Structure 1
Amino acid sequence: MKTRLPAVALLLTLILSALLPTAIADAAVNVLSATAQKQFDKTKAGMASADASKLQALYQSFVQQQNTIGYQDTRMKAAAATNDSKESELRQKIRLIDKAKLDALDKKITQLKSYYQPLFNRYEAAQAELRTARKFGIKELTAAVQLKVDLLEISVRSAKEEIRSAQSGLSTAKTAANDKMKRLRAQLDAITDEERKVSIAKTAISQLNKQKSSEWSDLLYALRSYDGNTSLRSLTTLSSVAKQIIDQQTKIDGYERKIADINKSVAIQLG
């Protein structure tokens, strides 16, 4: 059971969601507060012009990178949800491959057996009658019953052959359907490898986010001390970490595209 958020925390979450752009509402976006902005401006004022310009450019770039990260994150989640839904839909369709055809063939066999059952019953009764006639040794009766049995046997053989043919058709159709199911499922199973790659990239992003959070704290500490050099170093690192996150997101985007291509290929084959 999930722990419910305290009312204040929940309210704060809703407010932040409303204030932030939809694309980045779920991402941890680091921006300077009003107080930190004043510290940032004072730090710049104490730096050489070139370094001050670099510090400003790095911060603006970092904010833009985070917007990109948030946008990419939204796209990734949407792509993953679409791919998961499509794969589930395809696997359901694979289970139903040729189901109508197989059901019709199975029904035909049942109908044939039911249709010919009276014939089989008459044949069995005639055979029993023949055994009785032979037991009493009445040649004329035996010959008459034998003729009856022989005539019925021709019809019985034809009926059984028709049933066997229908059963053979059903067996062949089942084999073809199962082979197609196996082939298409094997194609979808390739998605597992792409999902494993996605998982690895997400783990890397998680570690990078931890690094980003730690480095952001270092930046704020440096700004409180008006330490320009450390601030430059922190923002340079933050920009580098953000780029690495974007790179990992780009990889994930590629994996999701491959998954979408697999789904599309299987969907085409299903018709």
Structure 2
Amino acid sequence: MTFRMPATALLLALLLSAILPAAVAEAAVHSLSATAQKQFDKTKAGLPSTDAAKLQSLYLSFVQQQNVIGEKDARIKATAKTNDDKESEIRQKIRLIDKAKLDALDKKVTQLKNNYQPLFNQYEAAQAELKAARKFGIKELTAAVQLKVDLLEISVKSAKEEIRAAQSALSSAKTSANDKMKRLRGQLDAITEEERKIAVAKSAISQLNKQKSAEWSDLLYALRGYDGKTSIRSLTTLTTVVKQITDQQARIEGYEKKIAEINKTVAVQLN
């Protein structure tokens, strides 16, 4: 039976493998030292003209591609930061959806309750007074207090209806705001899938950088022995590896572009 890592554990592992080797990847820009350059020139001189030209071309291509990788890396990091900052800004705005409206409605409910509380107290007192009047059996007093209660009850019902209407408006506004928050956050969740793809691409780049470093060591060893054919083979592999790195970087740029589009789509709905 094949063991499979849980999805969350796999994603964490990919993220760590992509993030932790970053400093190594940036430092591993390979070029010939003065000593290695002399060995390279001597190795090239011992090759037929066609192979010598190929060796030189491969090395120049390798150096150029590494420069491209560095430029792309800087551009990707800048884009990623912009996307992260924008997403944070959007999420903050989502939390504040209809806040002013909700605060105003909540304040209105509180004010109505406070304003009508003396009326409610007066109504309760009148009801207690009516109960006492009935207990003592004084008809004239009972009738007078009953009229007072009836008049207050009309005002109390009106007040309670006004409060219920304000509470209903507040409840509806909260539901509407929460629905919008949920909908927009759901749209932002699409970013998670793009980030997962980025983690996979970064993990691939990390592995390719390890391969590049190992192959570079093989090249230097071949140059020390003035082994032209092995040097050509190592440089051919190196140019292939850096091409694969730039391909992965292009994928990451595409994923970051999709993240930017997601942010833009949600941001427009907040205006």
Q: Taking structure 2 as the reference length, what is the TM-score of the superposition? A: 0.89
1:6 alignment counterpart: none
Pairwise CA RMSD of aligned residues? 1.1
Residue of structure 1 equivalent to 2:244: 244
Alignment partner of 1:26: what SS? helix
| Residue 44 of structure 2: aligned partner | 44
- Give the deviation of 1:94 after TM superposition: 1.1
CA distance in 2, matches of 1:199, 1:86: 20
8 A Cα contact 1:27 1:70, kept in partner: no
Tell me which residue corresponds to 1:32.
Answer: 32
Name the structure 1 match of 2:19. Answer: none
> C-alpha offsets along residues 155-188 of structure 1, whole Å, 9 cap, x if unaligned?
1000000000000000000000100111111111
Instruction: Map 1:243-262 onto structure 2 (within 5 A).
Output: 243-262=243-262
SS in 1 for 2:31: coil
Report deviation, 1:26. Answer: 3.4
- State the shift of 1:70 in Å: 0.3
- Residue aligning to 2:158: 158
Aligned identity (percent) is 79
* CA–CA separation in structure 2 for the residues paired with 1:27 and 1:147: 92
Residue deviations 1:16-74, cap 9 Å, x none? Answer: xxxxxxxxx93421001111111111111111111111111111010000000000111
Shift of 1:189: 1.2
Moved over 2 A (4+): none
SS at match of 2:166: helix
**Residue of structure 2 in register with 1:177 after alignment:** 177
Task: Give the Cα separation in 2 of the matches to 1:192 and 1:121.
Answer: 56
Q: 1:263 corresponds to which residue?
A: 263
The letter of the residue matching 2:33 is S
Structure 2: which 5+ residue stretches go unaligned? 1-24
- Within 2, Cα distance between the matches of 1:34 and 1:127? 104
2:55 counterpart residue number: 55
For 1:27 and 1:217, the matched residues in 2 are separated by 15
Q: AA paired with 1:40?
A: F
In the aligned structure 1, how far is the partner of 2:213 from the partner of 2:120?
Answer: 83
Counterpart residue number, 1:216: 216
- Give the counterpart letter for 1:117 in structure 2: Q
- Structure 2 counterpart of 1:29, which letter? V
Aligned to 1:74: 74
Match of 1:14 in 2: none
2-structure distance, mates of 1:145, 1:26: 89
C-alpha separation between the residues in 2 aligned to 1:210 and 1:78?
24
Higher relative contact order (CA 8 A, sep 6+): 2
| Alpha-carbon distance in 1 for matches of 2:74, 2:159 | 64
| Post-superposition offset of 1:83 | 1.2
Which letter does structure 2 place at the counterpart of 1:26? Answer: E
Corresponding residue of 2:225: 225
The secondary structure found in structure 2 opposite 1:32 is coil
CA contact (8 A) 1:215 1:238 kept: yes
Task: Output the amino acid matched with 1:76.
Answer: I
Aligned-partner Cα distance in 2 for 1:195–1:76: 13
Residue pairs, 1:101-180, within 5 angstroms: 101-180=101-180
Distance apart, 1:119 and its partner CA:
0.6
Hey, what does 1:21 align to over in structure 2?
none
User: Which runs of no fewer than 5 residues in structure 1 stay unpaired?
Assistant: 1-24
